[in-house]
A = this chain, B = another copy of it.
Amino acid sequence: MPARSRPAPTLDTVAAEAGVSRQTVSNALNSPHLLRADTLARVQLAIDKLGYSPNRAARNLRTRASHLIGLRLEPFIEGSASGLMDRFLHQLAESSRGSGLHVLLFTGDDHTNPLDGYDALLRSAAVDGFVVTDTYRGNPAATWLSERQVPFVAFGRPWDDADAKHPWVDVDGRAGVALAVDHLVDRGHQRIAWIGWQKNSYLGEDRRSGWVDRMHERGLSTSRLSARGDDTIDFGSRATYALLDSEQPTAFVCASDTLAMGVLQALRDRGVRPGGLIGQGEIAVVGFDDSLPAQVTELTSVRQPLEQVAVEIVKLLDQRLAHPMTGQPGVVLTPTLSERSTS
């Protein structure tokens, strides 16, 4: 371990130590097959002895690559965040390592402009590519980057642009909700209600279709059992009251944990225990996202496989960086169900 005051070893230092040329040391690191076995061993020894690591700046300059991928943190919305970013980032950093990449975070100066920040990093060659999250609100970053042929992978489908060519990874919300419906039907529920978002949300409609279709597949009616509104606890509660009074559902499936929290609150106010025992008047609740509040309140919830998502994103980005115009456009992953006491 070299003291920090001593100058860091360079290729030349190592070369002198091993009695070879600078280039041979470079080859030992990047193309070891070019070296004779004994030379390679000698160079390796010198590298280890001196504790040499190639200088990233010099390598970046020469190869015109930074091995960094940019991720823009979108404006933090207090309370509404389900805390998924934490899990996602973690795995992203983790799986980047395997490809010799690192994640660089940035934010926009101007939060109202969703493109802000990308251009600067790109022009200064600070990053090789991007991971674009938050595509649900129709993130224009995807279009902008596509036009400039910048390597990037989106977390989220390009719902509104059927012939988008960029790679993306998404979670099958429809399948996740279908999973929840199956779970409930298997436990004897027949009148299963849906509480979700407004019609203009692609994501919301996708999730809802999982409820509609699976209910019909299992021979159950969805008539009058659906409510749509804002993604708030309050709306979740109000919808629950209304549905309980008019349709007597025995279970609720929600488009988000936030809505499910509203359901739990309403049930508590009515003195109904949330749970799976249908014969004993209990009412089941399933949320979506497996957020911290869900875990704490023992809420059954659909869990996005964020770890897999991150792995796939890095894989696709890696492909894209190696061969700019290849790779399948989209990958869809299936969620799981975290079964807890509310179902």
Binding site for B on A (CB under 8 A): 1, 3-5, 8, 51-58, 60-61, 64, 66, 68, 73, 76, 78-79, 81-83, 85-87, 89-90, 92-94, 97, 102-107, 109, 119-120, 123-126, 148-150, 233, 258, 261, 268, 291-293, 295-297
Contact A105 B126 (CB under 8 A): no
Q: Report how many copies the assembly holds.
A: 2
Whether the Cβ atoms of B54 and A296 lie closer than 8 Å is no
- Tell me if A81 and B73 are in contact (CB < 8 A): no
Once the chains are docked, how many angstroms separate the CA of A72 from the CA of B322? 27
Pick the contact of A124: B54, B97, B119, B293 (CB < 8 A). B54
Do residues B107 and A105 form an inter-chain contact, with CB atoms below 8 A? Answer: no
Cα of A120 to Cα of B66 in the assembled complex, Å:
16
- Contact between chains at A79 and B292 (CB < 8 Å): yes
Residues from chain B with a CB closer than 8 A to the CB of A1 are 119, 148
Q: Which 4 A-B pairs have the closest CB atoms?
A: A57-B60, A53-B123, A57-B61, A93-B105
Extra contacts besides A76-B90, A105-B105 (10): CB < 8 Å: A1-B148, A55-B61, A57-B58, A60-B61, A73-B89, A79-B295, A79-B296, A93-B107, A261-B296, A293-B293
A292-B292, A293-B297 as given contacts; A56 in contact with B124, CB under 8 Å: yes
Query: Which residues in B have their C-beta under 8 angstroms from that of A297?
Result: 293, 297
User: Measured between C-beta atoms, what is the minimum distance from A22 to chain B in Å?
Assistant: 16
CB distance from A263 to the nearest CB of B (A): 12
Shortest CB-to-CB span from A298 to chain B, Å, is 9
Minimal Cβ-Cβ distance residue in B for A61: B57
Q: B102 touching A103 by the CB < 8 A rule?
A: no
**A183 vs chain B, min Cβ distance (A):** 21
Task: Select which of B53, B60, B81, B97 is within 8 A of A292 by beta carbon.
Answer: B81
* Contacting pair A292 B83 (CB below 8 A): yes
Q: How far is the CB of A274 from chain B (nearest CB, A)?
A: 12
Among A56, A87, A233, which residue has the most Cβ atoms of chain B within 10 A?
A: A56
* A104 & B103 in contact (Cβ 8 Å cutoff): yes
Q: Are B4 and A150 in contact (CB under 8 A)?
A: yes
B105, B120, B292: the one contacting A293 at CB < 8 Å is B292
- Assembly CA distance A86 to B105 (angstroms): 12
- The answer for the CA separation of A292 and B296 in the assembled complex, in Å, is 10
Q: Which residues of B contact A126 (CB under 8 A)?
A: 56, 102
CA distance A126 to B57 in the complex (A): 7
Contact B81 A86 (CB under 8 A): yes
CB distance A104 to B68 under 8 Å? Answer: yes
CB nearest neighbor in B for A81: B86
Which residue of chain B has its CB nearest to the CB of A62?
Answer: B57
- Which residues of the partner chain B approach A61 to less than 8 Å between Cβ atoms? 55, 57-58, 60-61
